[in-house]
Amino acid sequence: MHNQPKPHHGRVLIFLLVWFGALGALYVNQQRITDWWKLRGYFPSSAVAAIARSTQMNDHGTHLFYVNKPQLLESSTFSKECPIAAEKTIILGCYKGGDRGIYLYDVTDIRLQGVEEVTAAHEMLHAAYARLSAAEKKQLDTSLEAFYQKSLNDERVRETIALYRQTEPTEIANEMHSIFATEVMDLPAELEAHYKQYFTNRKAVVTMALRYQAEFTLRRDQVAAFDADLNTLKSTIDTNQSRLLAQRSELDAQQRELDVLRRTNVGTYNATVASFNQLVRAYNALLSETQGLIAEYNDTVEKRNALALEERQLTQALSAEGLPSAQ
């Protein structure tokens, strides 16, 4: 009598355990595998690699940056890749959700050196935020909002966030996450700890942002100072011109009286001439002063307009084809 073959239950169980273990490993490492697949054969350009170094992204930050295969684009190409007028901060680039790309506008104006780097860090942080779990986002969002409400002193950044609250209320935390890291020098300890996941020295990026933002602030403040000077000069000129009109009217009246006295009463004429000449000297002095103020006013207008032109040129340099910034 032959022995009947026994079922191999043990082997089946081992196979299933191995199978489910493999599936579990794939699930746990699916992001890592996806990233590996995206990065296969990818080599960043020298410009992109230089940006990663200068922003002092650490290995993780650089990885997130490279996974999105960042590109520096000229205006016509950039406008096609990035929606116009979405961004309200001092950067010019966009991150396409799902790690579908980071695009940076190639700004060539030397006065705006650093804008590409700050933009790159800003957009990389959008990619980083997208990868956080719901629980991580909840905790982080609480810290971001608390800092905004209680400690943020930079009025320009506050105005930027306020604008986002009006136009993109669902993206506030995402934007604060990128803006605070790249544009605010001093942050609470819990936020600094969070950003250490992506940078070896976050403040290097902020320094670049403050440097090129200062190019705008300097010109804007100087234009405002010139405008204040012009208002003061105009007020003084208007007052002087009113006084000159009144003095001229008085001089004309006295001149007519003197003409009559010269024909009818030489003694009174001679006695009056001295006071008349004194009025003429006062009129001429005021006229000379006013002419100097007018020349100063015109010179100030030229300086003011030249600075305003520089500010417009900088704004255009930060805009694809002269259009407002994009996200």
What is the residue-averaged pLDDT of the chain?
A: 84
Q: Are residues 46 and 148 in the same domain?
A: yes
Q: Are residues 242 and 136 in the same domain?
A: no
At residue 215, does pLDDT exceed 80? no
Q: Are residues 220 and 190 in the same domain?
A: no
Q: Are residues 262 and 197 in the same domain?
A: no
> What does R_g of the chain's alpha carbons equal in angstroms?
35
Q: Are residues 136 and 179 in the same domain?
A: yes
Q: How many independent structural domains does the chain possess?
A: 2
pLDDT at position 326 is 37
Q: Are residues 248 and 311 in the same domain?
A: yes
Q: Take residue 224 and report the two structure tokens written for it.
A: 């405002």
Q: Are residues 188 and 227 in the same domain?
A: no
Q: Are residues 163 and 230 in the same domain?
A: no
Decide if 8 is inside a domain: no
At residue 120, does pLDDT exceed 80? yes
The string of pLDDT tens digits covering residues 157-195 is 998 899 888 888 888 999 999 999 999 999 999 999 999
Q: Are residues 159 and 277 in the same domain?
A: no
* Full residue range of the structural domain in which residue 306 is found: 214-318
72 or 62: whose pLDDT is higher? 62
The string of pLDDT tens digits covering residues 20-60 is 444 444 444 677 787 777 778 788 899 999 999 999 999 99
Of 210, 232, 253, the one marking the end of a domain is 210
The reported pTM is: 0.67
Of 210, 235, 265, the one marking the end of a domain is 210
Q: Are residues 136 and 116 in the same domain?
A: yes
Of 210, 240, 262, the one marking the end of a domain is 210
The string of pLDDT tens digits covering residues 248-306 is 999 999 999 999 988 899 889 888 899 999 999 999 999 999 999 999 999 999 888 88
Q: Are residues 144 and 189 in the same domain?
A: yes
At residue 3, does pLDDT exceed 60? no
pLDDT at position 269 is 87
Region 202-209 average pLDDT? 94
Decide if 24 is inside a domain: no
Among 85-89, 165-169, 179-183, 315-319, the least confident range: 85-89
